[in-house]
Homo-oligomer: A and B are copies of this chain.
Amino acid sequence: MEIAIENKIRYHKLYDLYGSLLTEKQRSAFEYYYLDDYSLSEIASLLNVSRNAVYEQINIATAYLEEYESKLNLLIKTEKTVSILEKMKRLSKDSDALLNLIQELEKME
């Protein structure tokens, strides 16, 4: 599997948002591959399954992540929120109370 770096970054972000909705199997195949950078063969031997089974779990996992995003749009919303919060910070330099609230919102994204 050859994966463009932009896709990799996107999957990382989607996994942060929706990883909890995947099954244990999907999560471990995904994490070994996308977070720890193991090869399919290495993961197959770590999980004691075929290389093909690993490949399928990873594909199912990324398909689910994209499906959740298409239905809930949390990534789009989060990126929009972060950009609005940046603008707000620039506008409220003189108010500590406002900056504190903005920081509270930032922690939630």
Q: Spell out A's residues near B (CB within 8 Å).
A: 17-18, 20-21, 68, 71-72, 74, 77, 80-81, 84, 87-88, 91-92, 95, 97-98, 101-102, 104-105, 108
B108 A97 Cβ-Cβ under 8 A: no
* Interchain CB contact (< 8 A) of A88 among B20, B81, B101, B108: B101
Chain B contacts for A71, CB-based, 8 A: 20-21
B84 A95 Cβ-Cβ under 8 A: no
B21 A108 Cβ-Cβ under 8 A: no
* Interchain CB contact (< 8 A) of A81 among B72, B80, B108: B108
A104-B84 contact, Cβ under 8 Å, with A21-B71, A72-B20: yes
B105 A95 Cβ-Cβ under 8 A: no
A105 B91 Cβ-Cβ under 8 A: no
A95 B101 Cβ-Cβ under 8 A: no
User: What's the least CB distance linking A89 to chain B, in Å?
Assistant: 10
